[in-house]
């Protein structure tokens, strides 16, 4: 206890699970000497690591005790890492874990006073090829192959492919377990690591001022909306009830909770 505030430091899931959000004001969790584990590799025991969803939920439970509002940043960094290694299975499972974190945030908050934003900083040269049958395993081979889509070399190919990356050799995949978590999807151009690409990334939002997100936006626009929604910085006329009642109806003290989910968890920032 320092300055009337309680704080804790934890370094494994067992310690993390015992933290009482109602009795904790500041929490620092360091669960690895480097990156967090991929979800498929994560040790879920008491000596392992909490999931990104568990960390998100605990963070919200601690932060939302503050009547002045809060900002929480959550990054699903290992999705990006798996793509760079062209390990699609790990990338997809970390994306599912990230989805669970967003769900946890929705369950722990109200869209009346909490703006949740989900976006990414870039895309990858990751794509779907061919016309696999309905129900065909996304991690498997294109089956059956349409006569018009049979490769010139007549060898099977995976549904998921990369534009560049380490696994650029064209091999016969018959009998190869392409569903293994360590399998590297084929790449068209040899590279030490797969790279980012140029597609526009999606942005999703719910809560106060979420209607300002639509179509394609520059990334700097996100910060402007966050400041505008939370009545921080310039242009705060809308913060007055007499100017725009719906904006502050659920937030009389001008406190809007903000979440920025970034698809790109190494760690979570807790900002009070």
Same domain, 32 and 70: yes
Tell me the two tokens of residue 100.
């669970």
- With contact defined as beta carbons under 8 Å apart, do 228 and 85 qualify? no
Is residue 2 one of the residues assigned to a domain? no
CB burial of 13-42 (b: ≥16 within 10 Å; e: otherwise) equals bebbeebebeebbebebebeeeebebbbeb
User: pLDDT truncated to tens, each residue of the chain (272 aa)?
Assistant: 556 789 999 999 999 999 999 999 999 999 999 999 999 999 999 999 999 999 999 999 999 998 888 999 999 999 999 999 999 999 999 999 999 999 999 999 999 999 999 999 999 999 999 888 899 999 999 987 778 778 999 999 999 999 999 999 999 999 999 999 999 999 999 999 999 999 999 999 999 999 999 988 998 999 999 999 888 888 888 887 654 444 444 343 345 566 666 554 332 333 32
Choose the final residue of a domain: 172, 196, 220.
Answer: 196
Same domain, 226 and 110: yes
Alpha helices in 30-113 (DSSP H): 52-63, 77-84, 88-108
Q: Can you give the CATH number for the domain in which 215 is found?
A: 3.40.720.10
Same domain, 104 and 226: yes
Number of domains observed in the structure of the chain: 2
> Residue 184 belongs to what domain range?
125-196
Same domain, 65 and 14: yes
Matching residue, tokens 């932060």: 63
Chain centre to alpha carbon of residue 86: 18
Is residue 1 one of the residues assigned to a domain? no
């Amino acid at each position: 206890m320092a300055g009337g505030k309680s704080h804790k430091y934890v370094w494994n899931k067992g310690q993390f699970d015992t933290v009482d959000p109602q009795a904790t004001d500041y929490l620092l969790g360091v669960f690895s000497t480097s990156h967090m584990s991929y979800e498929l590799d994560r040790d879920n025991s008491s000596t392992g690591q909490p999931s990104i969803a568990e960390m998100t939920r605990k963070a919200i439970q601690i932060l939302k005790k503050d009547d002045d509002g809060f900002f929480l940043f959550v990054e699903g960094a290992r999705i990006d890492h798996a793509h760079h290694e062209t390990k699609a299975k790990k990338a997809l499972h970390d994306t599912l874990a990230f989805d669970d974190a967003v769900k946890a945030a929705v369950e722990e908050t109200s869209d009346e006073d909490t703006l949740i934003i989900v976006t990414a900083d870039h895309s990858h040269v990751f794509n779907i090829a061919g016309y696999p049958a309905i129900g065909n395993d996304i991690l498997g081979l294109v089956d059956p192959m349409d006569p018009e889509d049979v490769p010139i070399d007549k060898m099977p190919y995976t549904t998921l492919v990369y534009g560049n990356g380490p696994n650029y050799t064209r091999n016969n995949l018959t009998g190869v377990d392409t569903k293994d978590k360590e399998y590297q999807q084929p790449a068209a151009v040899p590279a030490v690591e797969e790279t980012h690409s140029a597609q526009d990334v999606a942005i999703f939002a719910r809560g106060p001022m979420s209607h300002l997100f639509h179509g394609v936006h520059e990334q700097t626009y996100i910060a402007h909306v966050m400041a505008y929604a939370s009545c921080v910085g310039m242009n705060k006329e809308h913060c007055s009830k007499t100017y725009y009642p719906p904006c502050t109806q659920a937030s009389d003290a001008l406190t809007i909770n903000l979440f920025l989910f970034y698809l790109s968890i190494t760690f979570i920032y807790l900002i009070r």
